[in-house]
Structure 1
Amino acid sequence: MTSLNLELLLNPSVRIVKFTASKGWFEKFKKRFNLASVNLHGEAASAAKKYVADTFKAIIKEGGYQPETVFNMDEMALFWKRMPSRTFIMKDEAKALGFKAHKDRITLVMCGNAAGFMIKPGLIYKSKNPRALKNKNKNLLPDYWMHNPKAWIMKCLTSDWFHQCFILEVKIYLAVNGLEIKVILLLDNAGGHPLDLSYQGVKIEFLLPNMMSLIQPINQGVIRVFKALYTRKSLQHMVEAMDMDDDFSPKEYWRKYMITSCMVNVQKALNNMKKETVNVCCKKLWPEVVHNNKGFSAEEIHHSAVDQAVRLAKLLGVEGFDDMTFDDVNELLDAHFKPLSDEDLAEMTKSASEEEQENPAQEEDDSGLTLKHLATILRMAKDL
């Protein structure tokens, strides 16, 4: 006898309400809780369990890897200038001509280890030299700067990130923790990940197809939690600007919200990503190293961030923000997972080209012996 039948027998007054959900609701539910490709009885799930029980355990044992030396990388799309659809910002933009700012996308390369440490993220933008970064040294940015017109991952960019960002960040982290350079980097088999990555002391392990949503740590909640934290930080940034300016104009603020503002909020959101949460997201791949961090699960942190985002929105007291709901924020988070159409990509590529024309290529690093610096030195020597 099932528990439902027993309940009906003991309490005949219980009503059975038939629950029906639309296809759209079900799709959003799957995305929200990372169930998009999960099939507990399918071949992918069986292969994932076998990989975890046999292959992965053997790799860890043979290499003697610790949680601090097992890293996972995955990329995520972020529509960095998008707000919930009911806000006046989105309504006004829908009427504007040209490329829509809410379709402006960046790709973040997220990487962390099983101990919960997240390295400096890679950021891929559509333009090499956007107006907001004019005359700025990109080496000093909080994110590792990369670019291509569609703002998406490519093999050459993955290789660039691996050698110029990952290796340097990991070396520093290991040195601080007194560990040797002997790490493993887990990647999925996406087309933008080259098969020839190599560095002494680093083992590259490619996960089998269809395992991303099943066992890959970064995809087990880290990405969705980060997007919730970024949304909260974006709203907090707006509220703080309002508190400091008696003549605050939300429209003017949003017009001036540039890629530099985005990078600041990306850094703050990542700093708010607790290492306990990243560690918990390793549960399906490496349950033995996961601590019982009650209160730090991806679901709990996501719920808390969304709740705070709603509260911050109400403080603004303007159309679409003053009555914002949980569903509005979750709808916004779901929107980050939707791909751009071919027309949107064409528009974004065009806008990247126009921005480059407005900002001629500059020296990437102002700190070397450039021709400009050499001319200045010769002129000063002559004067002397």
Structure 2
Amino acid sequence: MSSKRKRLVIRVVRKERKIVDLEQKIAIVRQYEGGQTVSFMLRKLGLSKSTISTIMKNSDRICEAVKGSAPMKSRPFNCFTNAIAVLHNGALVLWMEDQIEKHTPLSLMTIQAKARSLFEDLKKKEEYDYGQSFTASHGWFNFKMRANLHNVKLSGDSKAAEPFIEALDKLIKEGNYFPEQIFNVDETGLFWKKMPKCTYIHKEAKTRPGYKAFKDRLTVLLGGNVSGYKLKSLMIYLSENPRAFKNISKATLPVHYRANKKAWMTLAFFEDWFMNCFIPEVKSYFLEKRIPFQIFFIFQNAPGHPQYLNDLHSNVKVVFLPPNTTSILQPMDQRAIAAFKAYYLCNTFAKALSATESKTFWKDYNILHCIRNIAAGWEEVTPQRMNGIWKKILKRFVNCFKEFEKEKQLEDISNNIVQLAKEVDLEMDNEDIHQLVEDVGEELSNDDLMQLEAERVAEEERQTAQEEAAPKNFVMKEMAAAFSKINEGMQMFEKMDPNVARFSKVDRLIQDALACYKEIYNEKKKQIVQSKMDIFLK
């Protein structure tokens, strides 16, 4: 008995394909850049995840299409996108860097709140209603990756610190470095004319046009080696030629003096200091001590610090501290800078006491007086203290410098400042001194941030106009290719030259001249072999 098999009929019901026009696409791009999550847009628009992903992948082309489409509402898009770009790449990043420098804890919520605040101020400044809000959602927070600010937490990362200390010690042993050859530097902000709010100087100055001097900030770069030697300090101020420098040669100042409008460290300033101040000074120091000219330079990876320092001099090995470990590992952060600032205050008050009229002294106190007190304050930081700051990362080189002794010294300096202040009729206590020493300034306002961002953009445009060359660095692959081409060229000359002695002499001269490049190449080769070390040193 034959049986008929029932035919299974499957009806495929195709979803109606949604056509997404240019206006809808740009709306999706706007919403995403405004902080909306993909999941929210999926629910709201009824589109598939792949559709939205494709739109976001092609956002650049969509934006270009909008520019060529006059009827589209292009101005709101451009204004909104520009505002977001300022947040991603400029004002918000500046604010975060400033907070990190001041050791102010940052959280997702505080960053989101600041982003929204900045956006609203930018909106008012543009005097245009974008027609949408900026929520600074969790989805938006991936801007950190673009801004290269992955480590926004401020508490020291002890997990990263411990293996780094072991790796560092291994490197120093392998290189047979002496304590005199191991250096660290760091910069700090100094409000050079600031007084506590309770003093008559602050109250009187607040009523005068020159009150802004109390907020006048400069940058000082300080550092030294494990044995306690101190480098000549670098100072960055706002003015290239202050009035106080009349008839004064900058070369005779007790600091290396540089200037820019923000009194900030820049890549150009640091490279200039490194090659023209640091290297010559250390070279002379080594000659005096009869020590081989080899430098082990421990350094914080921060804005204004070049990443290519290893390529600048073949006798310098640069090791960067791991991210988010500055408070734990940076030697100069271990109260050396605090001691310098305390001594600076102490010297300033001592000068005020020796003046015939203290009120006149404060009124006439200028940047040249400040420089002299910076030099005097730095001079008073002892070699013992400079040796003790290395205790956390190179304990075996530290000569029994106890923590309580370090803090007692700071307390004694503070008490001395309070006593000097009283003698010049200034009512101050130890808490006032602590605030002055630790003062990193008020939080930058939104207006300050936008002004700094505008200056940054203007500076970039000026540099582009001047066709300033990008920083050079050595690349192993290209170096190997260069050596190969030089060898090929020499082989060609060898085949052509009948005079063997002449060729040998030329070949020897060229190989001797190339020795410095080969040394850099071999050093880079070692760094690649030690791949495990690179994890800690980046």
Shorter-chain TM-score category? 0.7 to 0.9
Secondary structure of the residue aligned to 2:354 is helix
**Structure 1 counterpart of 2:339:** 225
1:325-384 per-residue CA deviation (whole Å, 9 max, x = no partner) reads: 11111122232365554656869x99xxxxxxxxxxxxxxxxxxxxxxxxxxxxxxxxxx
Say whether 1:103 aligns with 2:215.
Answer: yes
Identity of aligned residues (%): 35
Query: What is aligned with 2:330?
Result: 216
Partner of 2:287: 175
8 Å CA contact 1:274, 1:296 repeated in 2 = no
The letter for the 1-side match of 2:418 is V
Structure whose CA Rg is larger: 2
136 and 98 in structure 1: CA distance in 2 versus 1, 3 angstrom threshold = closer
Q: Do the aligned partners of 1:106 and 1:123 also contact (CA within 8 Å) in 2?
A: yes
Partner residue, 1:138: 250
Structure 1's consecutive aligned runs of 4 or more residues displaced over 6 angstroms after TM superposition are none
CA contact (8 A) 1:75 1:107 kept: yes
Q: Which residue of 1 aligns with 2:321?
A: 207
**1:314 maps to what in 2?**
422
Letter in 2 for 1:66: F
Residue matched to 2:202: 90
Match of 1:236 in 2: 350
SS in 2 for 1:282: coil
2:158 aligned with 1:45: yes
SS in 2 for 1:150: coil
Aligned length: 301
Report deviation, 1:272: 0.6
Give the deviation of 1:220 after TM superposition: 1.1
Equivalent residue, structure 1, for 2:170 = 58
CA distance in 1, matches of 2:192, 2:336: 17
Is the counterpart of residue 158 in structure 1 residue 252 in structure 2? no
Kindly indicate whether residue 451 of structure 2 is the aligned counterpart of residue 327 of structure 1.
no
How far did residue 119 of structure 1 move?
0.5
Give the Å deviation of 1:79: 0.4
Between the aligned partners of 1:122 and 1:338, the Cα distance in structure 2 is: 24
Whole-Å separation in 1 of the counterparts to 2:189 and 2:350: 21
CA distance 1:124–1:297, shift in 2 (3 Å) = farther
Residue 81 of structure 1, aligned match among 190, 193, 206: 193
Quick one: structure 1 residues 297 and 107, their matched pair in 2 at CA, closer, same or farther if it must change by over 3 Å? farther
| TM-score, normalisation: structure 2 | 0.53
Counterpart CA distance in 1 for 2:389 and 2:359 is 38
For residues 126-157 of structure 1, the C-alpha deviation after alignment (integer angstroms, 9 at most, x for no partner) is 01111111232111110001111000111001
Task: Name which structure has the greater RCO, CA cutoff 8 Å, separation 6+.
Answer: 1
Amino acid at match of 1:290: V
How far 1:96 moved relative to its partner? 2.5
1:149 aligned partner = 261
The whole-number CA distance in structure 2 between the counterparts of 1:90 and 1:266 is 21
Aligned position for 1:275 = 383
Q: Quote how far apart the aligned CAs of 1:295 are.
A: 8.4
Q: Deviation digits for residues 5-45 of structure 1, max 9, x if unmatched?
A: xxxxxxxxxxxxxxxxxxxxxxxxx99xxxx9445xxxx11
Within 2, Cα distance between the matches of 1:155 and 1:257?
Answer: 31
Aligned to 2:367: 259
Which is richer in helix? 2
- 1:167 to 1:341, Cα distance in 2 relative to 1, 3 A: farther
* TM-score normalised over the length of structure 1: 0.74
Letter in 2 for 1:45: S
Matching residue within 292, 305, 328 for 1:193 = 305
Q: How big is each residue's C-alpha offset from its partner over 1:167-203, in whole Å with a ceiling of 9 and x where there is no partner?
A: 1111121111111110111111111001122213111
SS of alignment partner, residue 100 of structure 1: helix
Report the counterpart of residue 518 of structure 2 in structure 1: none
SS of aligned partner of 1:329: helix
Is 1:116 equivalent to 2:220 in the alignment? no
The letter for the 1-side match of 2:277 is: C
Unaligned runs of 5+ in 1: 1-29, 351-384
Query: Is this contact kept in 1: 2:321–2:329, CA < 8 A?
Result: no
User: Structure 2 vs 1, CA of residues 340 and 232 (structure 1 numbering), >3 Å: closer, same or farther?
Assistant: farther
Cα 1:303–1:285 change in 2 (3 A) is: same
Amino acid at match of 2:350: Q
CA distance 1:292–1:86, shift in 2 (3 Å): same
> Is the 2:233–2:256 contact (alpha carbons within 8 Å) kept by the matching residues of 1?
yes
Q: In 2, distance between residues paired with 1:344 and 1:176?
A: 47
